Amino acid sequence: MIGILYFIIIVCANTIGAISGMGGGVLIKPIFDLINVHSVAAVSFYSSVAVLTMSIVSTYKQTKNGIKVDWPFALQISVGAVVGGLLGNGVFEKLLHLFPSGREVQLVQIVLTVFTLLFSFLYSKSIWRNFKFESGILKIGTGLLLGFLASLLGIGGGPINVALIMLLFNVPIKEATVYSIISIFFSQLSKVTTIFLTVDLSRYDLTILYYVIPAAIIGGFVGSYISKQVTDKKVNQVYQVVIILVLLINIYNGWSVF
């Protein structure tokens, strides 16, 4: 029963995540926390696998849809995302070691997620003007920050990806969603690979992946198809609505944990 519920949530979340560039995990993680069936570590793992799968499908479909990708730019962001994903997972495991109950770790994740949501929502209201930085070091550093947060928070990507890429590099929102999802792929690939190589997998119910992976594939395909049909304005509206929804869920979860 819980597998079917996870399946439905992931299809919906990854569809929205592929359209908005958030990656789906920003919805999956807090909703799974709200359901409260699995541990913080397990929820983060399932979310990462779902988002990694979605990012593969979505990147393929978006490029097939004719979205132009500046691959040198994508590569610089991705290099940083790989390193950030490894660092974020290391900090996450360290926090779990310090706080085995997971309650404090979940609270840290919620607080940081709320801050990134607020930043992203304010940016979507055109409060700040875009920059147009060309520095390769800054692009790698941006990827590192995004990968670190995605891995630590267990949300795979998040609204801050799109907002920060647009703010620093003056990239249109549809292109920013693609770069966001590419960076999500590399950050989550490094995280999931590290988990499989270094963590005792017995702490996860791996049968849940039979629901997680197909749902993520479907969500990635559906989201990419819808993204092709809608305008930049519609993408921005979806982006804002999701931010508000996830903000409310995280505030409720934070109140429940606290």
Could you give the number of structural domains in the chain?
Answer: 1
Amino acid occupying residue 139: K
Confidence (pLDDT) at 96: 92
Confidence (pLDDT) at 199: 84
pLDDT along the chain (258 residues), means of 10: 94 85 82 92 91 85 77 94 91 92 89 88 85 94 92 76 92 85 87 88 92 93 83 83 87 85
Confidence (pLDDT) at 156: 62
Confidence (pLDDT) at 181: 84
Q: Are 26 and 189 in contact (CB under 8 A)?
A: no
Confidence (pLDDT) at 158: 66
% of the chain with per-residue pLDDT over 90: 38
Confidence (pLDDT) at 54: 84
Confidence (pLDDT) at 117: 86
Structural domain of 193: 2-257
Backbone angles phi, psi at 134, to 5 degrees: -115, -5
Please tell me the distance from the alpha carbon of residue 191 to that of residue 91, in angstroms, as a whole number.
Answer: 11
**Where do we find the tokens 């989550």?**
188
